[in-house]
Amino acid sequence: MKTVACVALALLAMLPGAGVAQNAANDTGAEQTSSFAGFAPTAVVGSGSFVGTESLMNPRFFRSGTPGDACSTFSSGDFQYIEVPMTVESGGSITATFDPATCGSGVFVTFHTAPFNPASICDNYIWSFGSSAAFTETFAAPAGADVVMIVSGVANTPGVVCGPFTYDIQGASVGPALPPPVPQPDVIPALDNTGLIALLAGVSLLGTILLMRRR
């Protein structure tokens, strides 16, 4: 009889309000999602286009024609630009490949530590190819720093439309590596209230029958 009573008490503890109920407030695995696709690649690859509604800077960059020259400015007016953010990997070196495609000589590429200041465009300058042309070049960049590649329009005419240009930046990543998912314990399916009441009634009936047989 003691055994039957213990089983009944255990079943009562499983009823709502008679123990710790499983819900989103106290279940560490509830309403949590994980995503894991390995470590983020150390590259930023993509494309972009000018559609005529980009942010504007003033003035534009001077194109010296020599890779790695110091930054200097040229002209004045309204010049469109697009930012491509990235984080430099621990090696502190970037290999950038850029193809202006249909934008041709109408765009210019520079690299800066973030943030980019469109009112003082040489701030935080790191490197440029020096010419408005396709290139593949390697240059030093601060390890672990947030960096932006600036693709700016050359024409002093807001509304420039061209592209897509393409880029492949090795030695940088879009963001930190995704963590592996946290293993969650297996969840044992629980009976609903009706099922628990029926099971409790069955155990009570069994206890009654056993008790009557002993008399």
Q: How far apart are CA 210 and CA 215, in angstroms?
A: 9
State phi, psi for 130 to the nearest 5 degrees. 95, -15
Three state DSSP letters for 170-196? ECEECCCCCCCCCCCCCCCCCCCHHHH
| pLDDT mean values, one per 10 residues, the chain (215 residues) | 48 43 33 31 88 95 97 95 96 96 96 97 98 98 96 89 96 62 47 63 66 62
pLDDT at 210: 60
pLDDT at 126: 98
pLDDT at 107: 96
CA distance to 16, 79, 173, 214, per residue, from 108 (Å): 66, 11, 22, 96
State phi, psi for 47 to the nearest 5 degrees. -150, 165
Which 8-state DSSP code applies to residue 34? Answer: -
What is the CATH code for 47-173? 2.60.120
Dihedral (CA of 147, 131, 98, 48) sign = positive
Domain parsing of the chain, residue ranges: 47-173
Q: How far apart are CA 176 and CA 41, in angstroms?
A: 9
5: left (phi over 0), alpha (psi -120 to 50) or beta: alpha
* Predicted TM-score (pTM) above 0.75: no
pLDDT at 157: 81
